[in-house]
């Protein structure tokens, strides 16, 4: 009979190790265990197991460090990491550092055997394949893409796998699903992260200007081109260029983009010198590009060039299990960014959020949480604190609500529009005094009557704030309802 396969499992919990032993151990499979990363590494060097399964939270050094050490020792080591906390960062880092797979612990009863069998097969294949050097960089990064759904875990794994390659990436998904966030993550985890990440929204720039935005122009290239201008391609030399809403790029420009993709060459508008840029392209669209290609509004050759790696972001309604985690994350984010107190969500409020279909996806959830925090009347958010619908709707519910909506509006224009609409529906309004009163009231509500923080939010001194409170007749009851 063949030599038994060996699996090394490293986890601090002995109960867990026993369970894995029971699941995987057999006449043909030997399971050895260790409870610390030190012992795990020694066992690895001694036994050279076929597969290493390790928890990320280990001491004295982490599972990720163990992965790095093990792969330094044997670049072909097949390592599966697992965690009960599976942060985005650890999933991306693990895949980038060459882990074979990453499993969330709660899925282990269903996935353990499948993943380990796949890992054993990969190891068997590896024995005949050529070796490659692992990439060994470890970066610090705030955990800013949240998601525990299977679909999002796939996205994180993909980001980890493609970050280091130079291949163009195409990110698709509905509006508000996190395409830009993923584009930034790809740059952040790539070898280009010390150079610029430059984003350009192809849909937001008029066609005549887009070419000069992308490629720059020479002095006098067209009326108004008073000086030479460097374009986004040149700006992102050595870094990443994010072509957002690529589906809206005019056909004429698509050909020029193709040329840069093929041989890195382009010219400034009005210039006849050929320039070169070393740029990694990440593109995104919420259009169905296959359909655009069929309609001949998108060049087929460019499509195939860009579509080398595809990251598809699922709409939030198809991963409602992420709503809870995202809601918690945004509660924390809003507290930190907007100087508001950290609120709690009641179970009932969470259920309301989980039952919603989120046509605006994660962005809509983020805005909903922000508005809820601003308008909340206690530290615990209940279903009646959850304001659904577009910002404008709450303009009719009073000035403070309008200010709250404006505070979370996407653009200054829409913030002003919300405020004006609310002002117009108030009889005999004098715009500026009205705004001043509503802003003061808003700040007092948002800070639960904390004058120091309210003054800070408004950018005035506490003494000035006191005067306004008096002048506007703002009482405690108005502030803390
Ligand atoms: N998984 C996530 N975790 C945390 N925040 C997220 C996540 N997905 C999206 N967001 C947040 O939601 C908002 C919208 O994300 P983003 O701008 O990346 O979406 P998009 O797909 O580019 O949308 P659009 O097509 O409208 O441009 C951002 O504030 C982003 O930070
Ligand atoms: Mg976007």
**Whose CA is closest to 191, among 164, 224, 214?**
164
User: What pLDDT, in 10s, does the model give residues 322-347?
Assistant: 999 899 889 888 887 776 678 888 88
**Alpha-carbon distance 324 to 356, whole Å?**
12
- Closest atom of ligand 1 relative to the 366 alpha carbon: 12
The second-level CATH assignment, the architecture, of 150-312 is: 3-Layer(aba) Sandwich (3.40)
Q: Which CATH class is domain 5-126?
A: alpha beta
| CA distances to 11, 16, 126, 311, 401 from 404, in Å | 47, 48, 58, 35, 5
Examine the pLDDT at 450 and tell me if it is beyond 90.
Answer: no
The CATH label, of 3.40.50.300, 1.10.8.60, 3.30.450.70, 2.40.50.140, for the domain at 320-479 is 1.10.8.60
Pairing of strands 309-312, 280-285: unpaired
User: Which ligand does the CA of 180 lie closest to?
Assistant: 1
Q: Exposed, middle or buried by CB within 10 Å (0-12, 13-18, 19+), for 145? A: buried
**Whose CA is closest to 306, among 321, 322, 287?**
287
Residue ranges with strand state E in 105-213: 169-172, 197-201
CATH 1.10.8.60 positions along the chain are: 320-479
Among protein residues, the one with the nearest Cα to ligand 1's atom 24 is 175
Among protein residues, the one with the nearest Cα to ligand 1's atom 31 is 181
CATH 3.40.50.300 positions along the chain are: 150-312
Ordered alpha helix ranges (H), 307-385: 323-337, 347-355, 361-375
Rg (CA), the chain: 27
- Closest atom of ligand 1 relative to the 201 alpha carbon: 27
Query: Separation of 176 CA from ligand 1 center, angstroms?
Result: 5
Examine the pLDDT at 388 and tell me if it is beyond 90.
Answer: no
Ligand 1 pocket at CB < 6 A: 145-147, 173, 175-181, 286, 326, 329, 362-363, 366
pLDDT at 390: 43
CATH 3.40.50.2300 positions along the chain are: 5-126
| CA distances to 92, 124, 186 from 130, in Å | 24, 12, 27
User: What pLDDT, in 10s, does the model give residues 341-377?
Assistant: 788 888 888 888 998 889 999 999 998 998 888 777 6
Min mean pLDDT across 118-127, 141-150, 171-180 is at: 141-150
Mutate-to-test residue for ligand 1 from 187, 362, 367, 410, highest number of ligand atoms within 8 A of CB: 362
- Closest atom of ligand 1 relative to the 177 alpha carbon: 21
Residue with tokens 């029971």: 22
- Closest atom of ligand 1 relative to the 147 alpha carbon: 1
- What's the CA angle centered on 183, arms 179 and 189, to 5 degrees? 140
Q: Taking residues 132-155, what's their average pLDDT?
A: 60
Q: Taking residues 139-151, what's their average pLDDT?
A: 68
Instruction: Tell me what the pLDDT averaged over the chain comes to.
Output: 84
pLDDT at 397: 45
- Closest atom of ligand 1 relative to the 176 alpha carbon: 23
**Whose CA is closest to 232, among 197, 282, 270?**
197
Query: Separation of 182 CA from ligand 1 center, angstroms?
Result: 8
Q: Encoding tokens for residue 22? A: 């029971």
For residue 478, name the pLDDT band (cuts at 50, 70, 90): low
For the packed helices 399-407 and 431-446, what is the interaxial angle rounded to 10 degrees?
70
Share of the chain above pLDDT 90, in %: 40
**Alpha-carbon distance 367 to 365, whole Å?**
5
Question: pTM of the predicted model, to two decimals?
Answer: 0.65
Among protein residues, the one with the nearest Cα to ligand 1's atom 28 is 363
Query: Separation of 33 CA from ligand 2 center, angstroms?
Result: 46
**Whose CA is closest to 281, among 237, 312, 247, 314?**
237
Examine the pLDDT at 218 and tell me if it is beyond 80.
Answer: yes
For residue 130, name the pLDDT band (cuts at 50, 70, 90): very low
Query: Separation of 174 CA from ligand 2 center, angstroms?
Result: 9
């Amino acid at each position: 009979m063949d030599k038994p396969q060996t699996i090394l499992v490293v986890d601090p919990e002995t109960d867990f190790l026993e369970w894995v032993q029971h699941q995987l151990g057999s006449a043909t499979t030997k399971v050895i265990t260790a409870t610390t990363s030190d012992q795990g590494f020694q066992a690895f060097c001694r036994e050279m197991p076929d597969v290493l399964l390790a928890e990320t939270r280990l001491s004295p050094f982490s599972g990720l460090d163990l992965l790095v050490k093990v792969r330094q020792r044997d670049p072909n080591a097949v390592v599966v990491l697992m965690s009960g906390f599976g942060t985005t960062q650890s999933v991306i880092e693990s895949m980038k550092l060459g882990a074979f797979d990453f499993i969330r612990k709660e899925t282990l009863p269903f996935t353990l055997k499948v993943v380990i069998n796949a890992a054993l097969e990969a190891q068997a294949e590896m024995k005949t394949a050529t070796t490659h050097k692992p990439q060994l960089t470890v970066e610090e990064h705030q955990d800013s893409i949240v998601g525990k759904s299977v679909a999002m875990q796939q996205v994180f794994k993909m980001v980890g796998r493609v970050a280091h390659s130079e291949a163009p990436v195409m990110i698709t998904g509905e509006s508000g699903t996190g395409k830009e966030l993923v584009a930034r993550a790809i740059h952040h985890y790539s070898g280009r992260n010390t150079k610029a990440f430059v984003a350009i929204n192809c849909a937001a720039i008029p066609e005549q200007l887009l070419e000069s935005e992308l490629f720059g122009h020479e002095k006098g290239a067209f009326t108004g081109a008073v000086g030479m201008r460097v374009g986004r391609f040149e700006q992102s030399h050595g870094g990443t260029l994010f072509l957002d809403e690529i589906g809206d790029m005019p056909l004429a420009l698509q050909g020029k983009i193709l040329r840069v993709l093929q041989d890195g060459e382009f010219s400034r508008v009005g210039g006849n010198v050929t320039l070169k840029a070393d740029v990694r392209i990440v593109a995104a669209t919420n259009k169905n590009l296959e359909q655009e290609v069929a309609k001949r509004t998108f060049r087929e050759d460019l499509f195939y060039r860009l579509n080398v790696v595809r990251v598809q972001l699922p709409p939030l309604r198809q991963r409602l299990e992420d709503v809870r985690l995202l809601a918690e994350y945004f509660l924390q984010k809003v507290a930190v960014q907007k100087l508001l107190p950290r609120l709690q969500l009641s179970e009932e409020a969470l259920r309301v959020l989980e039952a919603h279909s989120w046509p605006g996806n994660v962005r809509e959830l983020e805005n909903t949480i922000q508005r809820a925090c601003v308008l909340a009347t206690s530290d615990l958010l209940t279903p009646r604190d959850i304001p659904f619908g577009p910002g404008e709707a709450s303009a009719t519910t009073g000035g403070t609500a309008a200010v709250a909506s404006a505070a979370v509006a996407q653009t200054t224009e829409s913030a002003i529009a919300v405020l004006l609409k609310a002002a117009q529906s108030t009889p005999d309004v004098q715009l500026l005094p009205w705004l001043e009163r509503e802003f003061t009231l808003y700040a007092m509500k948002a800070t639960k009557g904390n004058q120091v923080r309210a003054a800070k939010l408004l950018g005035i001194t506490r003494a000035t704030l006191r005067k306004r409170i008096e002048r506007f007749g703002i009482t405690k009851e108005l502030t803390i309802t």
